[in-house]
Structure 1
Amino acid sequence: MRFLKPIALSCAAAACIGLAYADSDAKTQGATEQIPLLWKVSDADNAVYLLGSFHLLKADDYPLSKDIDAAFDDAHTIVFEVEPSALTAPDTAEKFKQAAGYADGRTLSQVLPKAARDRLQKMLAVGGGSVEQMDGVEPWAVTLSLVLGMTQAMGFRQDQGLDATLMKRAAEAQKTVAGLETVDDQINALDSMPMNEQVSGLDELLAKPQETLSDLVEMHDWWKRGDIKNLDGRMRLEMKQKSPESYRLVNVQRNDAWVPKIEQRLAEPGQDNTLVVVGAMHLLGSDGVVDKLRAKGYTVERICSACK
Structure 2
Amino acid sequence: MRIRPLSQSLAATVLAIGLSFAASAAESAGTATEPPVQPDASASAPVPLLWQVSDDDNTVYLLGAFHLLKAADYPLSADVDAAFEDAERLVFEVSPEQIDDPSNTAKFLQAAGYADGGKLSDVLPSPTYDRLATVMGGAGLPMAAFDRFEPWFVSLSLLMGMAQPLGFSGEQGLDRHLMVRAREAGKPASGLETLEHQLGVLDGAPMDEQVIGLTELVEAPEEAARKLDELHAAWRGGDIEALERLAIDEMKEKTPETYRTVNVERNQAWLPQLRGMLDEAGEDDVMVVVGAMHLAGDDGLIEGLREAGYRVERICSACAAD
Offset, 1:154: 0.9
CA distance in 1: counterparts of 2:222 and 2:281, whole angstroms? 51
Other-structure match for 1:125? 137
Write the letter of the residue equivalent to 1:302.
R
Partner secondary structure for residue 220 of structure 1? helix
Structure 2 runs not aligned, ≥5 long: 1-8, 26-43
Other-structure match for 1:7? 15
CA distance in 2: counterparts of 1:176 and 1:271, whole angstroms? 16
Equivalenced residue count is: 294
Mean Cα deviation higher: 126-135 or 33-42: 126-135
Q: Is the 8 A contact 2:62 2:289 kept in 1?
A: yes
Write the letter of the residue equivalent to 2:18.
S
Q: Is the 8 A contact 1:109 1:131 kept in 2?
A: no
Other-structure match for 1:65? 77
Structural mapping, 1:229-308, within 5 Å: 229-308=241-320
Q: Quick check: 1:152 aligned with 2:160?
A: no
Partner secondary structure for residue 3 of structure 1? helix
The sequence identity of aligned pairs, in percent, is 52
Offset, 1:192: 0.7
Which residue of 236, 259, 279 corresponds with 1:224? 236
Q: Which 4+ residue blocks in structure 1 deviate beyond 3 angstroms?
A: none
Q: Is the 8 A contact 2:94 2:192 kept in 1?
A: yes
Q: Is the 8 A contact 1:170 1:177 kept in 2?
A: yes
Which residue of 174, 180, 205 corresponds with 1:168? 180
CA distance in 1: counterparts of 2:79 and 2:250, whole angstroms? 29
Q: Is the 8 A contact 2:11 2:159 kept in 1?
A: no
Q: CA RMSD in A?
A: 1.1
Other-structure match for 2:148? 136
CA distance in 2: counterparts of 1:46 and 1:269, whole angstroms? 8
Offset, 1:33: 4.9
Q: What is the TM-score when the length of structure 2 is the normalising length?
A: 0.89
Q: Deviations over 1:20-50 (max 9, x none)?
A: xxxxxxxxxxxx6521111111111011011
Write the letter of the residue equivalent to 2:255.
S
Which residue of 40, 43, 46 corresponds with 2:52? 40
Structure 1 runs not aligned, ≥5 long: 18-31
Write the letter of the residue equivalent to 1:208.
A
Which residue of 116, 120, 133 corresponds with 1:108? 120
Q: Deviations over 1:150-175 (max 9, x none)?
A: 10111111111100100000000000
Offset, 1:131: 2.9
Q: What is the TM-score when the length of structure 1 is the normalising length?
A: 0.93
CA distance in 2: counterparts of 1:96 and 1:246, whole angstroms? 19
Other-structure match for 2:110? 98
Offset, 1:56: 0.5
Other-structure match for 1:210? 222
Partner secondary structure for residue 61 of structure 2? strand
Q: Deviations over 1:95-148 (max 9, x none)?
A: 111110011222101111122212211110112223322111001111111111
Offset, 1:90: 2.9
CA distance in 2: counterparts of 1:51 and 1:59, whole angstroms? 19
